Structure 1
Amino acid sequence: MNYLAHLFLSDNDPALQLGNFIADGVRANQLQQYPARVQQGIRLHHLIDRFTDTHAVVHESKERLRPKYRKYASVITDIYYDHFLAADFSRYCSQPLETFATEAYAHVQANYALLPARVQRFLPYMVQHNWLVSYAQVEGITQALRGLSRRATFASGMETAGEELLENYESYKEEFSRFFPELQQYVAQQVQLL
C-alpha cells in the first residue's frame, strides 16, 4: 500500500499515523529514537506491507503488471490501490478525503523534526501538490508514476502505467475491492495487539 492507505489505516491516531507514514525512511537501528507509539506505527507499516505483499488477490494485480513492469509491479500495484481508496474514500471513511488529507498533513508537519531526511525533502512537495487528494484521479496517479519513473535506478516503464490502469481499470478495481476489506480487518486486529 502507498501513503494514503498507510495514513488511513492508522486508527485515526496521530502518533501511529506518523510512524506508519515515515516507516520506509527509518532503519531498524533508528527505531528506538522515536516515541513508543510512533515505533508501533512503524511496526504497523511493516505488518501492512507483509500482509499486502503476500496476499493472493494482490498477487493477481502484480502478475498482470509483471510482464511489462517486472520488479516495479509491486510499486505500481500499491499506487493503483491508493487510487481506488481515494476514488471511493467515502465508502471507507465518514470523513471527506480533502479533510482527511488536510489533517494528515498537519499531523505530519507538526512533527517535522522527527521525520527522516528523505521525508523532510518530499513532504513540502507532497503537501503543495496535495498528493493524497490527487490520487483520486487517474491523472494524479499517472503523475505520481511518472515521478517515480524519473527517480528509478533502472528503466521501469512506470511512465506508461497510467495507461495500463485505464486499459484494465475494472480488473484492478475489483481486485482492490476484494482485498482492502481484508486488510482493514487484519489491521484492526493488529492495532489491538500493539
Structure 2
Amino acid sequence: MNYLAHLFLSGNDPDLQIGNFIADSVRGAQILLYPERVQQGIKLHRQIDAFTDCHPIVAETKARLRPLFRKYAGVVADLYFDHFLAVQFSHFSAEPLPAFAAAAYSHILSRPELLPERVHHFLPHMVRHNWLVSYAKVEGITRALQGLSQRTTFESGMEKAGEELLLNYASYEEEFARFFPELQRYVEEQIVLIRN
C-alpha cells in the first residue's frame, strides 16, 4: 500500500501514524532511535507491506501488471489501490478525505524531529501538491507514477501506468474491493496486539 492507506490504517493514533508514514525511510537499527509508539507504527507499516505482498488478490493484480511494469508491478499496484481508497474514502471513513489529509499533513509537519532526511526532502512537495487528495483522480495517480518513473534506475514504464489503469479500471477496482476489507481486519487485529 502507499501513503494514503498507511496513514489511514493507523487509525486516530498520531504517533502510530507518523511511524507508519516514515517507515520506508527507516533502516535496521535506526528504529531504536524513535519513541516506542513510533517504533510500533514502523513495525505496523512492515506488517501491512508483508500482508499485502503475499496476498492472493494482490498477486492477481500484480500478475496483470507484471508484463508491462516487470519488477515495478507492486509499486504500480500500491498506487492503484491508494487511488481506489481515495475515490471511495467516504465508504471507509466518516471524515472527508480533504479533512483527513489536512490533519495528517499538520501532524506530520508538527514533528520535524521525527522525520528522516528523505521525508524532509519530499514532504513539502507532497503537501504543496496535496498528493493524498490528488490520488482520487487518475491524473493524480498518473503524475505520481510519472514522478516515480523518472527516479528509477531501470526503464520502468510507470509513466504509462495511468493508461493501463483506465484500460482495466473495473478489474483493478474489483480487486481492491475484495482486498482492502481483509487488510483492514488484519490491521485492526495487529493494533489490538500492539496495545496489549
TM-score range, shorter chain: over 0.9
For the residue of structure 2 that corresponds to 1:47, the secondary structure is helix
Question: How is 1:147-186 mapped onto 2 (pairs within 5 angstroms)?
Answer: 147-186=147-186
Runs of 4+ in 1 over 4 A off after TM superposition: none
Contact 1:82 1:135 (C-alpha < 8 Å) held by counterparts:
yes
Q: How much has 1:117 moved relative to structure 2?
A: 0.3
Question: How is 1:91-170 mapped onto 2 (pairs within 5 angstroms)?
Answer: 91-170=91-170
Q: Amino acid of the residue matched to residue 73 of structure 2?
A: A
Q: How much has 1:175 moved relative to structure 2?
A: 0.1
**For structure 1, which runs of at least 5 residues remain unmatched after alignment?**
none
Given the two structures, how large is their TM-score scaled by the length of structure 2?
0.98
For the residue of structure 2 that corresponds to 1:190, the secondary structure is helix
Q: Deviations over 1:105-157 (max 9, x none)?
A: 01110111210100000000000000000000000000000000000110000
Q: Which moved more, 1:129-138 or 1:25-34?
A: 25-34
Q: How much has 1:78 moved relative to structure 2?
A: 0.2
Q: Deviations over 1:77-117 (max 9, x none)?
A: 00000000001100000000000000000111011121010
Q: Amino acid of the residue matched to residue 17 of structure 1?
A: Q
Corresponding position of 1:7: 7
Corresponding position of 1:66: 66
Q: How much has 1:28 moved relative to structure 2?
A: 1.4
- How many residue pairs get aligned? The number is 194
Q: How much has 1:172 moved relative to structure 2?
A: 0.1
Corresponding position of 1:48: 48
Q: Amino acid of the residue matched to residue 145 of structure 2?
A: L
**For structure 2, which runs of at least 5 residues remain unmatched after alignment?**
none
Contact 1:11 1:191 (C-alpha < 8 Å) held by counterparts:
no
Contact 1:105 1:127 (C-alpha < 8 Å) held by counterparts:
yes
Q: Amino acid of the residue matched to residue 45 of structure 1?
A: H
Kindly, what percent of the aligned residue pairs are identical?
65
For 2:68 and 2:82, locate their aligned partners in 1 and report how far apart those are by CA, in whole Å: 20
